[in-house]
Amino acid sequence: MNIGNKNNFSIEVVETSRNEPFVYGNICLWIKNQCIGYFNEVSYLETVVSSLKWVLENKNFVDYHHFGDTDEEVFYYLMNSEDELVFKAEFDICDTFDDWTIRIVLKNEELYFLWKYSEKPFYKYGEYDTFLHGEIVDRNILNAVLLELNKIVFKTTIC
């Protein structure tokens, strides 16, 4: 099942098992028509819900231009600096995404996702490019995707 719009932000998810309160499934993100995550790996879906809630509730993302003027400069800074603001940009979801580095900053007051597949992945999952990608993700779309994912994971509409 795909929730959202792959052109901006969506989640592809299939529940594989449920042993209350634990719900497991296959999951990946789609941003700007780019797949992020290894869909065939089973993940604890509540972790993904919690991570997305954190993004929507986080008021501490740092402005893109604090780190540089281009995606490459910003990403390099986020990956190599000991500046404690760097930690505010980290986005760690679950094991499915271990070979992707995902960072979130504010660009023109919008959520700006930067991501890159590892040039030396722990596992060889398939053909993913290793280019740096960046895209503004609409908070309203992210929120709508979270609400739908929440219904699947918790069988409820309350988030």
Q: CB pairs under 8 A, 24+ apart, for 64-70?
A: 64/105, 64/106, 64/107, 64/112, 66/105, 67/105
| Structural domain contains residue 159 | no
Domain that residue 68 falls in:
2-154
**CA–CA dist 16, 1 (Å, integer):** 12
C-alpha to C-alpha distances, 63 to 4, 74, 114, 121, 145, nearest whole angstrom: 26, 10, 13, 29, 24
Confidence (pLDDT) at 8: 92
Q: Is the pLDDT of residue 159 over 60?
A: no
| Structural domain contains residue 139 | yes
Number of folded domains that form the chain: 1
Confidence (pLDDT) at 125: 66
This prediction has a pTM of: 0.90
φ, ψ of residue 64 to 5 degrees: the values are: -45, -50
| Structural domain contains residue 144 | yes
The mean per-residue pLDDT over the stretch 32-42 comes to: 91
**CA–CA dist 116, 11 (Å, integer):** 17
**CA–CA dist 132, 44 (Å, integer):** 27
Tell me the pLDDT tens digit for each residue of 110-158.
Answer: 999 999 998 887 766 677 888 999 999 999 999 999 999 999 898 865 4
φ, ψ of residue 51 to 5 degrees: the values are: -65, -40
